[in-house]
């Protein structure tokens, strides 16, 4: 590593640390992104499998609802900072994730009320 690249690395690290220090208070009200509950792709053929699928879809709906709240909080913070394009972007994502949450909640209800042949 030569002197120029070493200087660039130190300068980049310093800039990154400065941005973190400056950006931290500005993003203090941003909700953390949730952890995804995982994917399942198994056919539900019994009452137990439908119950498990309903539970999974409820968890997934909660995840996407939380993700929508996360993006809505990002949109508010960007709007406060005058970053209007980023605010619009996060508002669109918040609406998208809320719609996905509603679909998973509806699918959970379908599994809960699905008749099973005995």
Q: Tell me: the pLDDT tens digits for 38-83?
A: 776 667 888 888 999 999 999 999 999 999 999 999 999 999 999 9
Cβ(59)–Cβ(106) below 8 Å: no
H-type alpha helices, 27-118: 47-80, 84-112
Residue from 91, 94, 88, 89 nearest 67 by CA: 94
Write down the pTM of the prediction.
0.68
Gap between the terminal Cα atoms of the chain = 71
Beta carbons within 10 angstroms of residue 93's beta carbon: 17
What's the alpha-carbon Rg for the chain, to the nearest Å? 22
- Enter the tokens of residue 80: 């406060």
Among candidates 61, 64, 67, 39, which has minimal Cα distance to 112?
61
Query: For the segment 13-33, what is each residue's pLDDT rounded down to a tens digit?
Result: 555 554 455 455 555 678 887
């Amino acid at each position: 590593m030569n002197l120029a690249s070493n200087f660039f690395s130190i300068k980049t690290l310093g800039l990154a640390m400065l941005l973190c220090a400056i950006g931290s208070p500005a993003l203090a009200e941003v909700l953390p992104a949730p952890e995804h509950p995982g994917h399942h792709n198994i056919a539900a053929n019994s009452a137990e499998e439908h119950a498990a699928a309903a539970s999974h879809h409820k968890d997934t709906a909660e995840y996407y609802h939380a993700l929508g709240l996360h993006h809505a909080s990002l949109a508010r913070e960007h709007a406060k900072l005058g970053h209007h394009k980023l605010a619009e972007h996060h508002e669109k994502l918040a609406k998208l994730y809320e719609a996905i949450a509603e679909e998973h909640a509806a699918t959970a209800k379908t599994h809960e009320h699905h008749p099973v042949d005995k």
